[in-house]
Amino acid sequence: MSNFNPATDIPDLSGKVCLITGGNSGLGEAAVTALALHNPAKLYLATRSRTKADAAISRIRASSVAAHSANIEFLQLDLAPFESVKAAAARVNNEANRLDVLQLNAGIGMVPPSITEEGYEIQFGTNYLGHALLTQLLMPKLLSTAALPYADVRIVSLSSTTHKVMAPKAGILFDYLKADMKGHSGAELYAQSKLAMALLAYELAKRYPKIISVSLHPGAVKTPAWGGEKNVNWILFNLILKPLVAVRGVSTEEGAKAQLWCSFSKDVKNGSYYEKGGVAGKEGPLARDDQLSETLWKWTEKELKAHGAPGWEVK
């Protein structure tokens, strides 16, 4: 991946549709900016705020002549409340004739204890459950696209290396997810949600082999994803993470290369977890635990069905 150049190595996207969650800033905006150079039929920039989305779209269109004419559309999406996810998926399913690339990029990190509208721990509900519901609702569109000639459909999930060292020893604390889990650190809860993202990609690859599903850790990137002054762990964030990212972190443009490579490279292997440089096989053992992966899949399907989701598409 070290030689991957988005300007030359992303193929022509004529006729293709891409959706990036969290596309208004950070890695998401960098990814949309790169994709806009390759003539996609439509780019969905999915985020909560229209104001922030419009500002990002203006920046992207001003970045180059090619990007200026790109068809970038704001997609209203708040991953925490399920109704917002359902509305976003319904719009895409109704107006897009295909969906080629789905980047599950958005996320929050180490915010104070809270729950989503449906009562799930806020980081797990936002980073994982919202994305799982979005993927489930878009799966028929993804599968129909994968059946087209010369299709190359990808689902790219943003995970984190923290899943190896900070997640609970059991992996996912299923019995406590319907609470704010305030007895656990923000870092642990973040890592739990990112482990779930790696497991989602792993299980999707097994169940839908015609779609390439992978997860990745983009490395230390100078991105606003973390909670900053609202962060629940001031010492960890301000005395450890911020200085580390300041010294070793790369720009969002450089960091986004990983998810762009995962979205288009022919070297990508279905179900894999990648770290910086396109290195595979560095995931923690829990991210390849088949029993945990299946348990999470079944738990997720049951929870989403309880809130009116249709269930996973049968192949």
Q: What is the spatial order of strands in the sheet that 17-21 belongs to?
A: 72-76, 42-47, 17-21, 101-104, 154-158, 212-216, 273-275, 279-280
Q: Find the catalytic residue in 16, 194, 257, 276.
A: 194
Annotated catalytic residue 190: yes
Find the catalytic residue in 25, 84, 159, 160.
159
Q: Residue 266 catalytic?
A: no
| 194 part of the active site | yes
Q: Which of 44, 120, 128, 190 is the catalytic position?
A: 190
Provide the annotated active-site residues. 159, 190, 194
